[in-house]
Structure 1
Amino acid sequence: MNSKLFAGAASALALTLALGACGDSGGDGASAPAANQGRGNITFATGKDLSGTIQKLAARWNAAHPKEQVRIIELPEDGDQTRQQLVQNAQIKSDAYDVIRLDAVWTAEFAARRWVLPLDETKLDPGTFVPAALETGKYRGKLYAAPWLTGTGILYYRKDLLDAAGVKGPPTTWAQLQDACAKVKETSEGKGVDCYAGQYDKYEGLTVNYSESVQSAGGQVFDADGKPQVTTAQAKAGLQFLVDGFKNGTIPSKGVTLKEEESRRAFQDGQLVFHRNWAYVYALASAKDGTSKVNGKFDVAPLPGKDGPGSGTLGGNNLSVSAFSKHQATARDFVQYIVSLDVQREYGKEQSFPLSRSALYDDPAMIKQYPYLPVMKKSLEAAKGRPVAIRYSEVSSAVQDHVTAAITGKKTVDQAAADLQTALSGLAD
């Protein structure tokens, strides 16, 4: 998924994050009001409603709740600006926003500072959510944000080029990916086509891609206790894959300048055999209006890994109730409405973002409209969230600094891993 449309990642549509540094439970949110049962008109602070679908869903709510109307407030498209606006609003304890849309990695900060309220998980039918998506809404065991949009990186591949090279099926390991590229390059159709690219510019997307490489080698950036683990053999193997990719040409040298859109255009223009990106690329690459040179020539698969299928990094947007809302009961009901299965299905018909209810990934009508859903479901089962950290922006910046140094040859893998371990140890909660 596009990190811009996620107001964060790679920030996913990303997809662009700048979480501040602050203590766990003190600071600006320490005197936040307790939950109330107030009812009345509310506001929903969200991203740009590009399809107009959110307005339609709000209109349906308003028709059924004449005394509890919802008004949509569209926040900036840029993730940093969106977060800044939400933070400033919370710091002055404003009741301007009742329901707020948070990037999945903002949960810890907003919950720790008491800017959003815990939600009653039982009223949301938690067992019907994609498990990994549900976890992104939690902080210290409590649910503070209801999962809405989710998604993870998937592998786009040129099926026509693999067929021409006699390669049967997409790769499940990095070695198979490299072998397939070598075979494609031997064909006339594969001349001048680069092998593989994700997002390696120095921004949130690099954090996402590095995390995926570490996870896909059997490692983890942080363990369950929040301690960094980037100097393990598995974590260093993930970084080595990226470093070697640039050295041996698996990843083209221009990869250090690629974000979601630049890499998407490279694949869509026929310049790549394999491409890691979010689900939004599927519709664009399938365009029949002449904007895509790979329409009908590609397919998707889960990301490959070191010794088998890899693990993607989870992206997503969740919905929270502001601690400063005067109509929190209405706000909670509206959150339940928006993330309900039927409303998510309606939303899904109008746009291609993967949603948080598991049943949508097995819905025949949805699969017909979005053929990538079975692959996305399988990928989500193996996906992992980014670090749960109040000081997330500093964590991400540290990753970007040291990984960039490694892939550009300024540091060895061992040195970059050691330096990153030291940096992250000082940021762990």
Structure 2
Amino acid sequence: MQRAARTASAVIAASTVFAVTACGGSSGAEVSAGEKQTLTVWAMGAEGEKLGDVAKAYQKANPNITVKVTPVGWDVAHQKLVAAAAAGNLPDIAQMGGSYMGEFAELGVLEPVDTETFDEKDFFPAGWQQGEVDGEVYGVPWYVDTRVLYYRTDLAEQAGVDKAPTTWKEMQDLAAAYQKKAGTKWGLSIQPSGLDTVQNFYSFLYSAGGEIVDEKGKAVVDSPAAVKALEEYASYFDKGLANKSVQPGYDVVKDFGNGRVPMFLGGPWHVTLLDEGQPGIKGKWAVAEVPADRTSTSMAGGSSLTISKDSEHKPAAEKFIKYLTDTKGQADWYERTKDLPANTSAWKSGDLTADPHLQVFEKQMKTAKSSPSLPNWSEITDKVDIAIAKATQGKASAKEALGDAQSQIEGLLEK
């Protein structure tokens, strides 16, 4: 998912409203799943456009249920959800990314997941964890994503390398060889600054054993492991291996195709973008797990499906979510959207088991790490974005930059 912009005032306003109006929760007047009824569903971005077709198929098999899907753009999703929650008008089912889960769980507007109906063992661990807040599960994983390393195999051969890099040293050595021996402009594309730079940094941070906030809720972004990760990340810019002035909206796919950029950290959607947009390099690129320091650990992303605590259609909502997240539903959703299934059983047939690119994503997801479900996680990662920019632009050492972020994040955690 993309992280939508949010404002502190909107969250505070919603919290104030809930203090007065939402403490009572559902009235308990629920309609059974077998009765005639209409389910309201909000789905974001491309998923919102595709889910309507799935809903039509579901309605044919369940004629008593009308599923009304409302597509919502990620750019306005948070604002609309906050406003709907404050007014007591959340849809029966809402798609939520991991960065939303802590906030809306804290507001008390989400129904806990029935863990007898939905089994944690059916899903990737990191996908399931995105729906957990303080030991309670509020979201069922719908789809997942993670980051892996994309690299040009033909240019690597020109550089004298015939295998994917598996360690930090091998990746940096390959980046330098691409420039010196294959004549590329850059060695690796990683984001130097701006909103959500942290998403590129996660693979370095987690592979070094670092975190932003630990399991006890303590800020640890200035730990030796985190400092080591940022030093490694910033070294690509210091050595001229990565571009430190990337513009917003930069299209790495184009530069990967023309050879200016031979490596980048990307998500599963890049497979389709490359296949469709860069046919000239077909067979000349591959994906690999992110190179390791202590481990090879990437970030976990994706979305979960939640049920409103005030919904009068919880049994039907639960049944529809079950349809979307079981083996068959997940395989169908992948065919429609190319979103990676969160249910691991869906990976055992078809393209998901035959495509070597997808096999790398599956392997990476098994060790991927999800972010903590904190209400102000976006504010916290904004501080890390700023620290990364200071280090990549040479305005502060990694230790100094993360030290500043540490004190600011500590303040946010005390709120």
Name the TM-score, length of structure 2 as normaliser: 0.91
- Count of aligned residue pairs for this structure pair: 405
Q: Give 1:364 shift.
A: 4.2
SS at match of 1:41: strand
* Larger helix share, 1 or 2: 2
Cα distance in 2 for partners of 1:152, 1:177 equals 19
Match of 1:160 among 143, 154, 165: 154
Match of 2:139 among 140, 145, 165: 145
Identify the residue that residue 378 of structure 1 maps to in structure 2. 363
Identify the residue that residue 239 of structure 1 maps to in structure 2. 230
SS at match of 2:238: helix
Match of 1:209 among 197, 200, 211: 200
AA matched with 2:268: A
Identify the residue that residue 33 of structure 1 maps to in structure 2. 26
SS at match of 1:237: helix
Q: Give 1:371 shift.
A: 3.4
Identify the residue that residue 240 of structure 2 maps to in structure 1. 249
Identify the residue that residue 353 of structure 1 maps to in structure 2. 339
SS at match of 1:155: strand
Match of 1:177 among 171, 174, 188: 171
Q: Is the 8 A contact 2:143 2:342 kept in 1?
A: yes
Q: Give 1:355 shift.
A: 1.4
Identify the residue that residue 66 of structure 2 maps to in structure 1. 69
AA matched with 2:189: A
Identify the residue that residue 324 of structure 1 maps to in structure 2. 310
What does the per-residue CA deviation read over 1:150-202, in whole Å, with 9 as the maximum and x for residues that have no partner? 11111000011112222131111121112123333343xx2133100123341
Identify the residue that residue 80 of structure 2 maps to in structure 1. 85
What does the per-residue CA deviation read over 1:96-154, in whole Å, with 9 as the maximum and x for residues that have no partner? x1110001221111111111110102202321111110111111111101000111111
Residue 280 (str. 1) matches residue 269 (str. 2): yes
- Structure 1's 306 and 108: CA in aligned 2 closer, same or farther, altered over 3 A? same
Cα distance in 2 for partners of 1:364, 1:140 equals 37
- Structure 1's 367 and 70: CA in aligned 2 closer, same or farther, altered over 3 A? same
Match of 2:288 among 301, 326, 334: 301
**Counterparts in 2 of 1:87-106, with a 5 A limit?**
87-94=82-89, 97-106=91-100
AA matched with 1:332: E
What does the per-residue CA deviation read over 1:199-246, in whole Å, with 9 as the maximum and x for residues that have no partner? 334112x12222322112121111111111112111100111122111
Cα distance in 1 for partners of 2:17, 2:199 equals 27
Q: Is the 8 A contact 2:48 2:70 kept in 1?
A: no
SS at match of 2:281: coil
AA matched with 1:237: K
Q: Give 1:421 shift.
A: 0.7
What does the per-residue CA deviation read over 1:290-333, in whole Å, with 9 as the maximum and x for residues that have no partner? 645432210000111335x5311111111001123222221121
Among all aligned residue pairs of Structure 1 and Structure 2, give the percentage whose two residues are the same amino acid: 23
SS at match of 2:116: helix
- Structure 1's 262 and 391: CA in aligned 2 closer, same or farther, altered over 3 A? same
Q: Is the 8 A contact 1:35 1:328 kept in 2?
A: no
Identify the residue that residue 194 of structure 1 maps to in structure 2. 186
Name the TM-score, length of structure 1 as normaliser: 0.88
Identify the residue that residue 339 of structure 1 maps to in structure 2. 325
Q: Is the 8 A contact 1:49 1:55 kept in 2?
A: no
Cα distance in 2 for partners of 1:252, 1:293 equals 24
Q: Is the 8 A contact 1:195 1:252 kept in 2?
A: no
Q: Is the 8 A contact 1:132 1:385 kept in 2?
A: yes
Identify the residue that residue 3 of structure 1 maps to in structure 2. none
Cα distance in 2 for partners of 1:155, 1:263 equals 13
SS at match of 1:121: coil
Residue 128 (str. 1) matches residue 151 (str. 2): no
Cα distance in 2 for partners of 1:35, 1:144 equals 18
Residue 54 (str. 1) matches residue 47 (str. 2): no
Cα distance in 2 for partners of 1:126, 1:35 equals 26
Q: Give 1:50 shift.
A: 6.5
Cα distance in 2 for partners of 1:76, 1:19 equals 17
Cα distance in 1 for partners of 2:48, 2:305 equals 19
SS at match of 1:119: coil
Cα distance in 1 for partners of 2:318, 2:396 equals 49
Cα distance in 2 for partners of 1:278, 1:262 equals 14
- Structure 1's 25 and 384: CA in aligned 2 closer, same or farther, altered over 3 A? farther
